[in-house]
Structure 1
Amino acid sequence: MFSALETRVPPPILLLALAAIVWALPGSTYSLVRIAIGVPLVVLGLSLNAWPKTLFRHVGTTVNPLHPERSSALVTSGLYRYSRNPMYLGYALALLGWVICQGQPLGVVMVALFIGYVTIFQILPEERHLSVRFPAEYAAYKRAVRRWV
């Protein structure tokens, strides 16, 4: 039933949709302190998302999250030494930064939804594909590096 959602919603679209929901929630308030904390988180998160893409391009594998079966190399260097999913971690941090900027405590629910949705409908299918494509190498990598942090 839920498998129809696997790798169907591009994570950047999900991120933007949830950020828009946070923005539309009533009662958002701004303060310099929240902006001073939130903006660096947004920048850090987007940087964490962008940097690994250069590694993917360098080794010639796909960065398209809708087609994990097209993976031609397993990237385990750079940020991938610390997290198996630094791109998604970056998006989650960016969304958290946005929530903080908006002064919207309910927005934390959107961060949790992002993490849950991406884990179930993006990361788990990607892991299945990588386990088939690189069985021994990916199994060792999974034992050595955590999914998120």
Structure 2
Amino acid sequence: MKSLERKLPPPLVFIILCLAIKFTSDEFNTLSVNLPFAHIVLIACLVVSVLVGFAGVYEFRKAKTTISPIQVKHASKVVDTGVFSFTRNPMYLSMFVLLFGFAYWQQNILSMLITFIFVFYINRFQIFPEEAALEELFGATYVDYKQRVRRWI
């Protein structure tokens, strides 16, 4: 499975799972439930997702380092300011929050479970390899950062 490590861009994984959520919701409507405040949850997740995601991109740009999750070796420094002082992966967190909001809005239990495939996939095939590359690149500086800040929230 090493061949999948850092190969699929996380936004592509996000889009694939959005489609899977919609398909599941449409095809398995017997698993539909009536969840409260669906539109409010979707809008709240959208707002949080945009704020957290853009805050992460902003900090990377400010630090003049790469935002590419595929080209980790091009990172020029460990960013631990702003949103990165609360989560090591704000862009992935942003995608998960939006994915969950979309699944909740679909009102389908199976669709909501699909969102956790994103967490599993991103942890296994994106974050773990990224962390290994960043430890190799930045050594103790990155290890210290990992000990201070949680992976997701």
* Fold conserved between structures, TM > 0.5: yes
Map of 2:17 onto structure 1: 18
Q: How many residues align?
A: 148
What's the CA shift string for 1:66-91, capped at 9, x where partnerless?
11111111100111111111111111
Superposition CA RMSD, Å = 1.7
Contact 1:19–1:95 (CA under 8 A) maintained in structure 2: yes
Map of 2:99 onto structure 1: 95
Correspondences of 1:1-149 after superposition (within 5 Å) = 2-25=1-24, 26=26, 27=29, 33-149=37-153
In 1, distance between residues paired with 2:128 and 2:105? 31
With normalisation by structure 2, the TM-score equals: 0.90
In 1, distance between residues paired with 2:108 and 2:48? 20
Contact 1:39–1:98 (CA under 8 A) maintained in structure 2: no
1:42 CA drift (Å): 2.3
In 1, distance between residues paired with 2:68 and 2:34? 35
Change (3 A) 1:105 1:29: closer
In 1, distance between residues paired with 2:110 and 2:147? 35
Percent sequence identity over aligned pairs: 30
With normalisation by structure 1, the TM-score equals: 0.92
Contact 2:33–2:109 (CA under 8 A) maintained in structure 1: no
Where does structure 2 lack aligned partners over 5 or more consecutive residues?
none
